[in-house]
Amino acid sequence: MQTVGTAEQAGLDLVLSEVVGAVRSVDPESVAAAADLIEGGRRVFLFGQGRSGIALRSLAMRLMHLGLAVHVVGDATAPAIGAGDVLVVASGSGTTGSVVRAASVAAGQGADVVAITTAADSPVGRAAARAIVVEAAAKTDHGGTVSAQYSGSLFEQAVMLLGDAVFHTLWQRSGSAAEELWTRHANIE
C-alpha cells in the first residue's frame, strides 16, 4: 500500500486552486441572468455531452427539488421544447455538434438558451440568450497553458459548481425551507 505524500497533496492543491480561479472568472451577472431565465421559464431542459452532461444532470435534479418542471434532453420522457421554455447547455469549446444543434433547434422553437462555455463567440455562445463564460481549457487544449489538468476537466468541474450556484440563487429567491425541497427528494433508491 502506498502512502499519501506531497505529490498527492500537490494534486489536491492544484485542482482546488484551478477550480477557484475558474469559478471566480465568471461574471456574477451572467449567473444572475441565467437564474432569471430559468426562474421565468415554463419548463427547463438541460443538455450536454460527456462529463459536462453529467454535471448538468446534477443541476436538473436540484431544479426538480425546487419544484420546477425539468427535463434532460435525450431521456425517453423529455417532451418537445417550445416557446417559453429554457434550454441549459454546456460545451467547453462551444462547438460540440449535438449541443450546437440542440441550441439551434431550441432557439428556433422560441426557447431561451443558456450556454455554459469557454468561448462566448462560439456557435453555442452565439445561439444563447445568455452565456456563462468560464476561463478554462476546452477538452482539446492540451497545451497546459490554461489548466494543468487533463483535457476539459477544469471546465467540467466548473459546470458542476456553477450549476450549484444557479440552484442556490434560485433556492434563496424561492424562500423555501430545505424541508420543503426534501419532500421532492427521491424516496425509491
Residues classed as catalytic = 156
| Half-sphere exposure of residue 91: CA atoms within 13 angstroms, side-chain side | 28
Element holding 98 (H helix, E strand): helix 97-108
Strands 130-133 and 112-117: parallel
SS (H, E, C) 150-166: CCCHHHHHHHHHHHHHH
List the one residue out of 42, 106, 122 whose CA is nearest residue 73. Answer: 106
Strands 70-72 and 86-91: unpaired
